[in-house]
Amino acid sequence: MTNEQITDAAEVAAELRTVAADIFTDAADRLADTVARPLDAQVWATLEETGLARLTGSEDSGGSDAGWLEAAAVLGEAASAGVPLPLLEHDLLAGWLRDAAGPPASAEAPTGSPADAAGSTPAISTAAEAVATGRPVTVPWLPAAASVVVLDSSGERPQVYEIAASDLVFDERTSVSGEPQAVVVLPTGVAGAVEVSAEVADEFRYRGALGRAVQMAGAGEAISQLCVEHVTTRVQFGRPIGKFQAVQQLVTDVASEAALTRTIVDRAVLTVAEHGMQDARSRFFIAAAKACAGGAAETIVRNAHQIHGAIGTTLEHSLQRRTRPVMGWRREFGSTAEWETRIEELVLDGDADLWELVTA
């Protein structure tokens, strides 16, 4: 993308962030104080109507032809508000895989039925990778999805196919954050599956990692804000607890880690927007963003709950709506250690110039 295109996209992203914040603030007010965090069909219907549910898809496929800058703005706002939504899975993974594979070679994929305020089944898709025949995988949002777009990397050449959720036998579970997920053995070597390049399979993992990093950055900033609000309003021994030096240190560490995560995540998103996902610079910053966000999550979550005390662990408090997802996201699409190793590999294998990356 040119500088002018980047500027235009950034302006659109800022507008989308405002729109999304209004939608997600209203949705957060409706969240039930329960461990489980199911999909809100009403807010999903709103996202469908406004075009935010499928931002990055082509206009021909019903999308808005947006890029990572715009998608990250909406994805981050949802995480910041603590509203559970399959935006990453539906748009940036399942929708992208479907577009990358082209027209299906097999039967028409199921699309589900439109969501409405009454709570009918939303027409969402989720995505997953089958790395070996017969190996169970955890698929996020599967119980709420109409279909799964599968990246089958178990054979010599990766393939993509779509299967109706109703055609799968799965063990429904709840994630750490309370969102619906399921353990399932996905079919491999499916007749009619579309062959894709190894680059597509590799990009799937990088897209998932960047999406999770964006979500952790959004949630981290919201957690930091909650900590500041709590220490300025909670009075103990005749003064706000924020006056105590030990508490100030905890808050400072949360704010520092949240700011660090935001900085590297924004750099990764911008680099992808400028150079594309296949560029070595983009891969480096995605790896750095996921590793940084995962490392920061431990400090942010631990300190935030120490600052809030027992109240922060209750279902009625909004803190756990951010901290629980963060602890789940940090393990998905590669652990912190795995992405730190990937950074080393990118540099030592010669795909990225460390000095140029650090000083650029």
140 and 228 share one domain: no
CA nearest to 84, candidates 219, 221, 226, 259: 219
Choosing from 179, 195, 211, the residue where a domain stops is: 195
321, containing H or E segment: helix 320-329
Please say if the pLDDT value at position 353 is more than 60: yes
Task: State the pLDDT at residue 116.
Answer: 31
CA nearest to 148, candidates 134, 163, 133: 163
Q: CA-to-CA distance for 206 and 184, rounded, in angstroms?
A: 23
202 and 185 share one domain: no
Domain enclosing residue 80, as ranges? 3-195
Bridge partners, residue 138, by sequence: 183
142-181 tens-digit pLDDT: 999 999 999 999 999 999 999 999 999 999 999 999 999 9
112 and 184 share one domain: yes
216 and 114 share one domain: no
Task: State the pLDDT at residue 249.
Answer: 97
152 and 223 share one domain: no
Please say if the pLDDT value at position 110 is more than 90: no
Task: Please report, rounded to a whole number, the percentage of residues in the chain having pLDDT higher than 70.
Answer: 93
Count of domains forming the chain: 2
Choosing from 167, 195, 223, the residue where a domain stops is: 195
185 and 273 share one domain: no
Choosing from 166, 195, 224, the residue where a domain stops is: 195
234 and 167 share one domain: no
245 and 152 share one domain: no
**What pTM does this model have?**
0.92
39-66 tens-digit pLDDT: 999 999 999 999 999 999 888 777 888 9
